[in-house]
Amino acid sequence: MDTWLRVTEAGLYCEPLDCYIDPTRAVHRAVLTHGHADHARPGHQAVLATAETIAIVKARYGENAAGSFQALALGERLSMGDGRLWLAPAGHVLGSAQVAIEWRGVRAVISGDYKRRPDPTCPPFEVVACDLYITEATFGLPVFRHPPAEGEVARLLHSLSVFPERTHLVGAYALGKAQRVVRMLRLAGYDRPIYLHGAMQKLMALYQELGVELGELRPATNLKGEKLPGEIVVAPPSAIGDRWSRRFADPVTAVASGWMRVRARARQSRAELPLVISDHADWDELLQTVREVEAGEVWVTHGNEEALCHAASGLGIRARALSLVGRGEAEQEAAEPA
Amino acid sequence: MKDFSALLDALSYMASRNGKLRLIADYCARVEDPARGYALAALTGELSFAGAKAGAIRALAEERSDPVLFRWSYDYVGDLAETTALIWQARPGANRPPDLPEVVEALQEATRAKVPALIEAWLDGLDATGRWALLKLITGALRVGVSARLAKTALAEWSGKPLADIEEIWPSLEPPYGPLFDWLEGKGPKPDAGDAPTFRPLMLATPLEEGALDSLAPAEFLAEWKWDGIRVQLVSTPGGRRLFSRTGEDVGPAFPEILEAADFQAVLDGELLVLQEGEVGSFNALQQRLNRKAPTAKLLAESPAHIRLYDALMLEGKELRQLALTARRERLEAWYRSRMPARMDLSPLIAFEGWDQLSTLRAEARANGIEGLMLKRKDSAYLAGRPKGPWFKWKRDPLIADCVLMYAQRGHGKRSSFYSDYTFGAWRDGETGPELVPVGKAYFGFTDEELKQLDKWVRDHTTERFGPVRAVEPGLVLEVAFDALQRSSRHKSGIAMRFPRVSRIRWDKPVEEADGLETLVALLEQ
C-alpha cells in the first residue's frame, strides 16, 4: 500500500490521484482536511476541501491563498486520476473532514485531526470502514481521557459566581476551540455579551456567517479604562498571561485545552482555571475508532505514536508510526489546537 | 467527594491568597456537615491514615493497566498519584462514588489489610479529579498551598467571627468540627477552649518612625534586644504542649527538645534561636531546623534549639495578659529563677538613661543574632495583633549594596504578567576580566509604578529566556538593602543576604560602578 500512498518531503502523497493531503509545503494539488495552520498552508496551486474549510483558509490567508479552490460537499464522490475520493466529517472543527481514497478496490482513510465527542459547532465524526486508516495520536497516552466538556464549562460558570468581581479570561485556540467554548456557554444558558481579543474576531464572525449561533460578541479592545469585572473574555492562550491581560479586573486565567488534563502542563500554562476541553480524540476514542474502522492496517501520524501502536498491536491490528515533518510544530502554542 | 475534589483542584491552581480564601469560604457555605469538617481537617493537616501508602497505590495501578503503557504514562506525568488517577479504568458495572465522610470514617476504622480493597472500590466509583483528590488525601500530601492558618482565616472571613477566637478554641476541637460550624453559622454557642493548648494571638510591634522618640518619655519604656530568630509562643497546659510560630502554625514537631523541656504549665513568648557553644547560631542553621519535621540526632546535636524569653501570657494556670508589662516581667523572672527550665533563658533588659544613649547602643550592636532594639511601654497589657503605640521595633539600619540586575522571573497571581523577582549580582575578577556573580534575589521594595518600569526594562534588555526567567544584559544597578550577610556554602558567591529588598533603582548609575564581591564579603558577620 505504501507505493500508492507515501510520505514525501512535502507530506503525504497519493500517486494514482496525484494529490497531497495536508502538505507542509506548497504543491500543485492539495486536499486539506481542515483549516488549522499545521494542516492548511498557503501557496498551493489547487486546493480541494469542504466549503467551510475553504472559507476559513481564505479568511486566514486571503482570497489568493491558493491558485484555485474547489469545494467538495461531505459524501460527494469525486473521480480523480484512476481512483476516486470523498470527504467524511471528522468532528474536529467547522469544515473538518476525513479524506477517503479508493483505488483498485482498496480504500484508505486519512482522518486528519478528529474527535468523537459531540461538538455543537460542527457535524459529528463518521466511521468509514477501510483497509488502511491513517490516524492522529495527539493524546496517545492512556492518561488522556477527557471529561465531559459540559462539566468544564460548568466549572467556568461556577468560578464566575465565586469571583464575580474578576474578569474571566479564557485562553482558547482561535479556530474551533474558541467558538466551541462560546457556543457551549450559550447552551449552558450564559447570555451576557462575551468579549473577544482582536485575534479572535475574524473567525468568530466567519462562524456566525456560516450559521453557528454565538450570541452577542463584543471586542475587548478600545475599552477606555473599562475593566470588565465579572465578564468573560476569550483570547489566544499566548495573550492571557501577558501584558495585554493587565487591562482587566484582576483576571482569573482559564485555558481550554486537552493538555490541561496533566497538572504539570496546566501549571506551565499558568492557568488558574485549567479547562479540559479538547478538539482531539482522547485515548479511548482513538482505540474505539481504530477498532470500528476495521482496517487491517493503521498508520499513526503526529502525537504519541509509540503508545497507540503498542495498544493497536494488542488488539491484533498492524500499526506503524508515520513521521510527518512539521505537524504540530509551527507556532508551538498557537498551533497546538488541542 | 465531588465538591471536595473540585475544591482541592481549584486550590491547587489558584495563586492568590484572596482567591484561596474565597474558594474555601464558598465550599463551607455550600457543603454540609460532616463533609466540610473533614475537608477542613484535610486542609489543616489533622487527618492521617495508617496503612495507605504509595507502594500500595502503585501496586493497585499496575495490576489494572498495561505495564508498558503505565511506565510511559508515569514518565510523562511525573507523579504517581496523578498517573494512577488518570490511567485508572473503572471496572464495568455499578460503581458508586463515595462521599468524603464515608472515606474518612472507613479509613479510620479499617485494618491495614483491608485498605487496598477499599481504595480500589472508591477509585472505580470516582472520576479522574476525584481519584486524584482521594489519593492525595490518603497519602497525606495535599500540596495545594493552604496552611492551617489560611484555612482558619477563610473560616473567619466567611463567618465574620474573629480569627483570634477561632485560633483559641481550635486545639480543643476534633474533626469534623460540628460544634465549630454551629457556632460559625450562629446556630450554637462558642465551643469551650478548656485545657487545650491553644494559640493566643501574639502582640506585635510597629516600626519606630523617624522623629517618634521626641514625643516619648524614656522612663516609661523598657528596652531589650530584638533577636534574629523566629518569634514563637510556647504553650504547655494539662491538655498538651505546642510550639506555635508568630502566625499560629504548629512548629513543635521540628523542635522536640523544646517540647520536652516544657514540663510546666505556662504560655511563654520568646525568640526561637539555635545556640552553638553558647552563642546564637546563624539564621540559616535555624531555617534548616525549621525545614526538618523530624530532625535527625545529628542535626539536634549540631544545632540545638533554645528560647530566649520575652514575656509570659500565663504562668502555672494564671492568666497574665491584662497585667502591665512590668508586672508580667516580674512574675516571669521569679518563675524563671525558681524553675530554671532547660533550653530557655531570659532576654535581658537594657539599662538606659535617655534616647541618645540607647541610640549609641543600637548603632554599636553588630553581634550575631541582634537585629536591633525593642521598646515596650512599661504599662502595656498584652494585646492581640499590632496595636499602634505600646511596642516599637527599632531595627538597626540596614546594610546597603549597589548590585547589578542579572535575571528576572515572572511573578505569580496578580504579578503573573510582570517580571517581578530579581536576581542581582556583584562584580568579581573572572578569568577574562570582571564578571558578575549572583548574590541575592528580591521581589519587593518597589512601587507598582516602578514595577512597570522594571518590567519594561527587563523585556527591552533580555538576552536569553529560560521558561519564566529572562537573563538581561548588565545595564541596571539596584540599590539593595538587607539586614545581615552570612556565609553560605550553597551559593556560588559564598554569601547569603538576610531579608534583601530593592531600596532604590539606580537608573543613573553606570554598572561598572556597582559594588564588588569583596565589598560585600567585608560586611560578613563575625
Task: Give residue A324's pLDDT.
Answer: 67
The C-alpha atoms of residue B192 and residue B171 are separated, in whole angstroms, by 10
Question: Does B287 contact chain A (CB < 8 Å)?
Answer: no
pLDDT class of A337 with cuts at 50, 70, 90: very low
Rounded (to 5) percent helix, strand, coil in chain A:
25, 25, 50
Output the average pLDDT for chain B: 91
pLDDT class of A336 with cuts at 50, 70, 90: very low
Q: Give pLDDT tens digits for B460-516.
A: 999 998 878 999 999 999 999 998 888 888 888 889 898 899 999 999 899 999 999
Q: What's the grid cell of residue B301?
A: 546535636
Task: Give residue A329's pLDDT.
Answer: 40
Pick from B6, B22, B72: CB nearest A141: B72
ipTM of the complex in this document: 0.92
pLDDT class of A287 with cuts at 50, 70, 90: very high
* 3 state SS of B479: strand
- What is the C-alpha radius of gyration for chain B, rounded to an integer number of angstroms? 27
Q: Do B86 and A311 touch (CB under 8 A)?
A: no
The C-alpha atoms of residue B291 and residue B411 are separated, in whole angstroms, by 24
Is the pLDDT reported for residue B3 higher than 60? yes
Question: How many alpha carbons fall within 13 Å on the CB side of residue B181?
Answer: 21
The C-alpha atoms of residue B190 and residue B184 are separated, in whole angstroms, by 8
The C-alpha atoms of residue B131 and residue B119 are separated, in whole angstroms, by 9
Q: Do A253 and B416 touch (CB under 8 A)?
A: yes
Task: Give residue B485's pLDDT.
Answer: 85
> What is the Cα B285 distance to its own chain's centre?
16
Task: Give residue A327's pLDDT.
Answer: 58
Residues B244-262: what's their mean pLDDT? 92
Rounded (to 5) percent helix, strand, coil in chain B:
40, 25, 35
The C-alpha atoms of residue A247 and residue A250 are separated, in whole angstroms, by 9
Q: Which residue has the higher pLDDT, A226 or B282?
A: A226
pLDDT class of B121 with cuts at 50, 70, 90: very high
Q: Which long-range contacts (CB under 8 A, 24 or more apart) does A84-90 make?
A: A85/A17, A85/A19, A85/A31, A85/A48, A87/A49, A87/A50, A88/A126, A88/A128, A89/A122, A89/A123, A89/A124, A89/A125, A89/A126, A90/A33, A90/A34, A90/A114, A90/A125
Residues A183-211: what's their mean pLDDT? 97
Pick from B14, B73, B129: CB nearest A141: B73
Q: Nearest-CA distance from B4 to chain A in Å?
A: 14
Residues B117-143: what's their mean pLDDT? 91
Task: Give residue A335's pLDDT.
Answer: 36
Model pTM score: 0.80
Is the pLDDT reported for residue A27 higher than 90? yes
Residue B222: its H or E element? strand B221-227
**Bridge partners, residue B238, by sequence:** none
Q: What percent of chain B has pLDDT over 70?
A: 98
Q: Are B407 and B463 in contact (CB under 8 A)?
A: no
Residues of A within 8 A of B13 (CB-CB) are 266-267, 271-274
Q: Give pLDDT tens digits for A143-171.
A: 999 999 999 999 999 999 999 999 999 99
Residues B128-132: what's their mean pLDDT? 96
Q: Are B165 and B184 in contact (CB under 8 A)?
A: no
Is the pLDDT reported for residue A331 higher than 70? no
Residues of B within 8 A of A159 (CB-CB) are 10
Q: What's the grid cell of residue A230?
A: 465579572
Largest CA distance in chain A: 65
Task: Give residue A1's pLDDT.
Answer: 55
Is the pLDDT reported for residue A173 higher than 50? yes
Q: Give pLDDT tens digits for B320-357.
A: 999 999 999 999 999 999 999 999 999 999 999 999 99
Residues A25-32: what's their mean pLDDT? 97
The C-alpha atoms of residue B120 and residue B125 are separated, in whole angstroms, by 9
Is the pLDDT reported for residue A184 higher than 90? yes
Q: What percent of chain B has pLDDT over 90?
A: 64
Task: Give residue B284's pLDDT.
Answer: 79
Residues of B within 8 A of A306 (CB-CB) are 72
As annotated, the active-site residues of B are 226
